[in-house]
Every structure is written in C-alpha cells, then in structure tokens.
Structure 1
Amino acid sequence: MPTKRPTPRVALLIESSRSYGRELLMGIASYVRVHGPWSIEFEEGDPAEHFPKWFSRWNWDGVIARVSTPAIAEILGDTGVPVVDLSGSLPDAGFPRIRSDEEAVGRMAAEHLLSRGFKNFAFCGFNGMDWSDLRRASFERRVAEAGFECQVFQKPGISPSSAEVDGEHHGELQERELMAWLKSLPKPCGVMACNDARGRQVLTCCREVSVPVPDEVAVIGVDRDEVFCELSVVPLSSVILNTQQIGFEAAALLARLMDGEATEFSSTIVSPVGVMARQSTDVLAIDDRHIAAALKHIREHACSGLDVESLLKVVPLSRSVLERRFSKILGKSPKTEILRVRLNRVRALLAESDLTLAEVAEKTGFEHPEYMSRLFKKKVGVTPGEFRRRSGSTGLPAK
C-alpha cells in the first residue's frame, strides 16, 4: 500500500483588514478546495505591523506572503521553505512573485478618464511605494501619449520598505497639503488615486475645500473595495483588480514548489478586469456639446447594437463632421469608441458571470458570438475562453 502523503502545512502572511487581502485569501481558498487539503494558518491584521508569534512554533512546508519589509524577507528566507511573494515591493528578496499588472492598472484608469473627455490630469499616490509608483508611471505615460500633461502630488514619500498601512497613515498627515494641491489643479481635472483608500481621502479633501465632484474634479481609485467606494463622500469609481486570481495562481505555484518542481525565480503579473464606474467620474469634460451628447449616448446604448448610423440620428451632425470632431477631441473614431465600450462590457461579463458566449454576445450587442470572439482575440490578445480562465476566481468553465 502506498504511503499516504502528509498534508502540507502552509502559512499565509497576508493583511486581511482590507478587501484586497481578503480577496487574495479567497483565491487561495478556491485552489485548496479543489487541489488540497492543506493545513493553513493565518490571522487577522497586518503581519508587517505585528509579525505573528505562532509562525516560529511550527515547521512549514510553504508560505504565501506579502513581503513588504526587509525584516519579513529575512525571516522567510531563513525558513528554507518555498515562499511565494504577493507584494513585489522588494524585488531583490529572491522569492517568486505574483502581482497585479500595475502598468495595465494605470493605463486603464487613464483610458477611463480620457473617455470622459478630460484634458487635465493628476495622480495622487504614496510616493516611494512600489505599486503606487508603477501605477503613476503608467498613468503618466498614457496621458502623455494622448498629448496631455499630468500633475503629481509630490509630498515627500515614505520608505519603500514601509508597510502599506503605514503609507496610508503617512498620507493622512498630508491632508492640508493635499487640499491645497487639489485647489491648485487646472479644472476640470481627472485624478487617479493609487488605491481606493487614497481615492476616498481625495474625495473628502475635495469636500473640505468645496471642489465639486465630478464636475471640477473626477476621481478614480483602484481595488473596487466596496466599503471605501460606497461610503465615500461621492461613490468612487475604481479599477477592478483580478485579486482572487492572483491568490489562486499563488497557491498553484506554491503547490508546484512544495512538490519539488524546479521553478526559476520569476515575476508573474495578472491583468485587471476593468473599471467599476460610479458617480465620482460620471461626467463628460467636453466643451463640444454634440460630442458630449454622442459619448453619453454611446455609454448608455453601445451594448444595444448601436452603430454610427444610429448615433447620427441622435447627434445633428454629418458623419464626416462627427468623425472629424471625435478624432480631434478624443483621438479616435466613434466606431472605435463604441467597440471599446462593448468589449469592456464583454470583459466584465466573462470575469464576473457564468453566461455562455452566446449570452455574452447578446448582452453586448454582437449578433454572432463567433464575430465577438474573433474581435475580442484581436483587441485583447486572448480568446474569451482564455480570458475567463485567467479571470477564473470562481472556477467557471468557458462555455
């Protein structure tokens, strides 16, 4: 009779008071439900603030952690067991990493604000924190590609080795400077906050200095933290990270490492899902009232089979004038914008529902799912089925 394989003992060192950490844990749980069992230990709170006393009591087979400080990296390195890092803040720590595609996050936020017609842009983050700086750099690049400049809140940052919650506390101390900065921005302005906590703070400061949101300042955050987004002064738009998939992929990688597979040091990135638009960006910063009306109609009706000919019935312009103004103001054609809105909806439905491809096509204005699939592959780079698998925190099969 073969020897029964012992259950791996795994430590999870993940801050769990925020939705991001909880979503990571849910992704790990999804993997373990199918491929376990594992004996798992974790606790509420932030290991970077209070490293758990129980960690030294056991011999671990593997660890999944957000390695945010050199002290944690040293402790984990001394264990000699496989470690998967979900932070990436310390690239020299030597652990394989899985994290969000921060470049795609910044670009997606910029695209959202550009689609609202903004010409003035700003970024508010936590200077010196790896993930915030990467999002800022990508946001700035996309804004520059569109021909605009980006103002950055430049209050001195924190040590890159500091914990995330320390960075947010540091940010709370800057509110007076943040209020002055918001008042000084050219208006109307589209502002990206590095995460929803920072976005909520920006919205609060706007209220304190009587800057109307979204009319003068539109704000988008990152994480889709429902508590922060819904309890903000104005409901906060947010880039949706594929956080459960990050946790799932981390657990799968750790399982391979614990099985002795030789895996070279690497960094794996997981693409964000899309944007959850709320009131904080529900505005069109366009002086041309006809183009503003066209964009509003596209947002509301793109998934109902809208085409350019139908759009011309709403906007009293000739096709050539409409396309010329669209290109001048937004750098794209009306047809391109219609397809962008529809494909964004396809992405969201693939990631968040178990609808078949035929049902997704029907709900997004595509007459034939085969055409939708070809167009999706061309624009996104993967098939709808592959995108759903990569977004498969719910474990739903492609249909």
Structure 2
Amino acid sequence: MDRNAQKQYNKQAMKAKVLIILPSDKFLHRQILEGILAYGSKRGPWQFHFETGDRYEQGLGKGRRWGCTGIIAMVREAKQLAELIGTKIPAVFINPPVMKNAKGRKPPQWATFVTRDQENVGTTAAEYFLSRGYRNFAFVGTPCSEPAEWCERRLYGFRRRLLGEGLNCFSFSASSPEVASDFDKESIELIAWLKSLPPQTALYAPWDRRALQIIGLCLDAGISVPGSIAILGTDNDEVLCESVSPSLSSIALDGCTAGTLCAQLLDAHMRGLKVEPLVDLAFPRIATRQSTDEMQVPDAFLAKALALVRKDLSVTHTIAELASAVGISKRTLEMKANLILGTTLKAEIDRIRLNEAVRLISNTNMSMQSIAERCGFCCASHLNTRFKTIFGHNPSVFRYQPPK
C-alpha cells in the first residue's frame, strides 16, 4: 500500500461510526462486545452506538441520523434482519434468523453472516464424555416452555453423536408449560428425574446457568457430582463456573475472538473489500473442572493402565510395559481396550495425548515444543504432523488469540 493509500485508509478508519445491536444478558455476548470494542479502539478509534435490541427501532433511527457507516448485530427476528439489510449499510450479522422468501442463506454483497455451528457444540460435548468412558447420558435444556433453536440444535448434535455409537440419552421435559416457567415447581420434577438416572451418567446442559442449577439440585438431593452424575455446561463463564463446589466444567466458545472476527469483517466491508458472505465460528474448547473430573472405565486393569498414562504424559509407555505394570498380558490388555473402548489402546493413548495438547494450546502460552514434550511427542514437528492427520489443521488453530 503506497503512502497516499495508507493515509486514505487511516482516514476512513477514523470516521467509522458503528451501530452495535447485541444483547448483554449473557457472558458470551459480553465477550463478543469486548472483542469488537478492542478492535475498534485499535483501528480508529471507531465511534460506537450500542443497543441491546430491546429498543431496536430507536437504535436503527439513531444510526441513520448519526451517519452510521457500519453495523454489527445479533437480532432475533427476521423482520429486524430484513430492515437492517435494507439500509444497504455494510453489516455483519451474528447467528441471523432465517428470513421468509429469502433466496438461500447468502446475504447481499455488503453484509456477512457469522454463524455458530450449534450442532457441533453438542457433538463436542458428546465426544468429550465418550472420551472419558461414559455410557449413560442425559440432557437438560433451557428452563422455559419453548426451547430456543440454538438449544435444540445442540441437543440434536449431542444425540446424533451418541446414536453413532449405538447409545441414547435421557432428556428432561417439564410436565407442563406452567411448570417449565416456574423453577420452584420445575425443581421438584428435576430432582425426581435426576434421581431416576442410572449411576455414572454424563449430563450436558447447553448453558452455564442451567448447569449450575443442576449442580445445586444434585447437592440438595444428595446426588454425588461427578461420582453419580458428571455435569458439563457451555459458555465457560469463569466467575460462575468457579462459584460452585464442585466447580463446573464448561465448553468455551471464545466470544472475544468471535467479536474481533466480526469487527475485522466489518472493517473490510467498510473499506469496500471483497468479503466472504458466510463465515463459521469454529473449534469450541472444553475447560475441565471438578464436575467432570472422573474417567469411567468399567475394568480395573484397563482403568489402571490409562491412569498410568495420564499420570505423566511426557513418559512414553509401551503397551507391554503398561500390561506388566497392571499385572496382565499385553494381549489381554489390548483385547480389553478393543472391547471396552471400541478402539486400540495405542489409539486411545494417542487421543489422550492430543486432547491434552489441545487443552494446553487453548489455555496457556506454552511453546509448541514445550507442549509436545509435555504430551509425549518427540518434538513440535511430530505434534504438528499428528494434528494435521487427526484434525486437518495446524495446532495453532486451537490457540486462543485475545483481542488487541
């Protein structure tokens, strides 16, 4: 970019006036806003007008009078989406609703739809529990009489992944809309339902606040967490997750990164650059805490062998060494793994190492070489090769990038 072009670019950035329509009642939404504001401060600083969506008409009217040059919005109704698109102002829409009579899902050239694959979030929860040896599963959705679409999609992804293993899950439903809208009444039914679940059940709640309710009810009813029921939430609101005992494991959706991405896309639109019409938010990660901190393996020999592996992943054990340590033959140990885990012991050990590598990449600033050594890979290059083979991406894809 030459000097004159750079000056024009900076001038446009300074003039950016961005209307943000975003609910602020959830931790994830506040993270998204944080990412947007951080990017705008660095680029401009941009000027912002913020609306939660409760006073939508005033927000759009204000934006027009104000000379709005860009929009980032999360709206719930197709009518609102259509009106915003109709302004022809460069825009980024987060998880937009489906518009009636729309030709496909692609937005016009001045807008981008950024969507979260909600089914993938549910699938991630199922794979997490499967990897920890669970064979009994349950799901508790949002505490309302009419479940939100995102909740239903997460349940679908959760259940579909389990069905792929020949497994099913119990799903809680209140007896009536009246009960569903009154937690005092619903809690009575929930406790009875929780008590009816088989021992060692893995329960997924697609929202941290709901998961906290379930932990509280389990404690009230004398149900051990995670001994009898392991509980996983979603959003990884760290204040909430650490506010209970046992602390809550949760799927982190990295809202700050999503907000930064939305701001980058809008920036490109406002500069007249070609932008992808549809962008997916990828790679949810899981923060393991006490509420799921157990591995369910119904065989003492195999459980002991896997415990030895997990004790220090930097130590490379052969199958023969593990078998000798637990007191059975190599062949017997391998047969137990195939029968109980549905895979080879070598593949299970590799999966454990890779999962720990993903956790360290996502949650720490450790170098790839240090992570490779910690997880039992000979070097960063070997780790990189395994990631490409298993995930189809470099390890750096999983690295959390805070907004700058």
Same-fold call, TM > 0.5? Answer: yes
Whether 2:170 is the aligned partner of 1:186: answer no
**Are residues 1:102 and 2:107 paired?**
no
- Paired residues, what number? 380
2:29 is aligned with 1:21: yes
Q: State whether residues 324 and 330 of structure 2, in contact with CA within 8 Å, keep that contact through their aligned partners in structure 1.
A: no
- 1:381 is displaced (CA, Å) by 0.8
Q: Which of 278, 288, 297 matches 2:289?
A: 278
Alignment partner of 1:378 is 2:397: no
Check whether the contact 2:39–2:403 (CA below 8 A) recurs between aligned residues: no
1:283-322 to 2 correspondences below 5 Å? 283-322=294-333
Task: Specify the code of the residue in structure 1 equivalent to 2:402.
Answer: S
Residues of 1 paired with 2:318 and 2:35: CA distance? Answer: 39
Which of 347, 353, 364 aligns to 1:342? It is 353
Residues 78 and 97, structure 2, Cα contact 8 Å, conserved in 1: no
The Cα shift of 1:359 comes to 2.2
Matched residues in 1 for 2:50 and 2:318: separation? 52
Equivalents in 1 of 2:60, 2:391: separation in Å?
Answer: 42
Q: Does 1:12 align with 2:24?
A: no
Q: Give distance in 1, aligned partners of 2:247 and 2:152.
A: 25
Q: CA deviation at 1:199?
A: 0.9
Paired residue type of 2:240: F
**Cα drift, residue 50 of structure 1:** 4.9
Which of 53, 56, 64 aligns to 2:61? It is 56
Q: Secondary structure at the match of 2:159?
A: helix
- C-alpha deviations, 1:144-168, integer Å up to 9, x for none? 122211111234899xxxxxxxxx9
Query: What is the CA–CA distance in structure 1 between the aligned matches of 2:196 and 2:236, rounded to whole Å?
Result: 28
Cα offset, 1:291, TM superposition: 2.2
Cα distance in structure 2, aligned partners of 1:263 and 1:217:
46
1:119 correspondence with 2:135? yes
**Counterpart for residue 137 of structure 1:** 156
Aligned equivalents of 2:282, 2:355: Cα separation in 1: 17
Distance in 2, Cα, partners of 1:171 & 1:63: 37
Whichever residue aligns with residue 111 of structure 1, its letter is E
SS of the residue aligned with 1:214?
A: coil
Q: Report how far residue 382 of structure 1 moved.
A: 0.7
TM-score with structure 2 length normalisation?
0.83
CA distance in 1, matches of 2:367, 2:296: 36
User: What's the CA shift for 1:362?
Assistant: 2.1
- 1:83 alignment partner, one of 69, 76, 91: 91
Distance across 2 between alignment mates of 1:271 and 1:103: 12
SS of match in other structure, 1:42: strand
| Pairwise CA distance, 1:140 | 0.8
Q: Which residue of 1 aligns with 2:220?
A: 208
- Partner residue, 1:393: 402
Conservation of the 8 A alpha-carbon contact between 1:242 and 1:270: no
Shift of 1:133: 1.5
5+ residue gaps, structure 1, are 159-167
Q: 1:165: which partner in 2?
A: none
Instruction: Deviation per CA, 1:219-256: give whole Å up to 9, x if none.
Output: 11111111221113421111122322211211111112
Give the 3-state SS of the residue equivalent to 2:123 in structure 1: helix
1:137 maps to a residue whose letter is Y
Alignment of 1:166-177 (within 5 A): 174-177=186-189
| Partner deviation per Cα, 1:39-70 (whole Å, 9 max, x = no partner) | 12336xxx244548555323321121222234
- Counterpart CA distance in 2 for 1:121 and 1:33 is 45
Tell me if structure 2 keeps the 8 A contact 1:96–1:267: yes
Given the superposition, is the C-alpha separation of residues 297 and 107 from structure 1 closer, same or farther in structure 2, using an over 3 Å criterion?
farther
* C-alpha RMSD of the superposition: 2.9
Contact 1:302 1:365 survives alignment (8 Å)? yes
Q: Following TM superposition, by how much is the alpha carbon of 1:98 offset from its aligned partner in structure 2, in angstroms?
A: 1.8
2:361–2:371 Cα contact (<8 Å) kept: yes
Per the TM alignment, residue 334 of structure 1 is displaced from its structure 2 partner at its CA by 2.2
8 Å CA contact retained: 1:67, 1:90: no
Where do 5+ consecutive residues of structure 2 fail to align? Answer: none
CA 1:248–1:207: 2 relative to 1, 3 Å: same
Q: Structure 1 residues 200 and 52, CA, compared in 2 at 3 Å: closer, same or farther?
A: farther
Q: With the length of structure 1 as denominator, give the TM-score of the two structures.
A: 0.84
Contact 2:138-2:204 within 8 A present in 1 as well:
yes
Is residue 140–residue 149 contact of structure 1 (8 Å, CA) maintained in 2?
yes
Q: Decide which of 374, 379, 384 is 1:363's aligned counterpart.
A: 374
With over 3 angstroms needed to count, the CA separation of the structure-2 counterparts of 1:73 and 1:348, relative to structure 1, is: same
Q: What is the SS of the residue equivalent to 1:374?
A: helix
2:182, 2:271 → 1: CA distance? Answer: 42
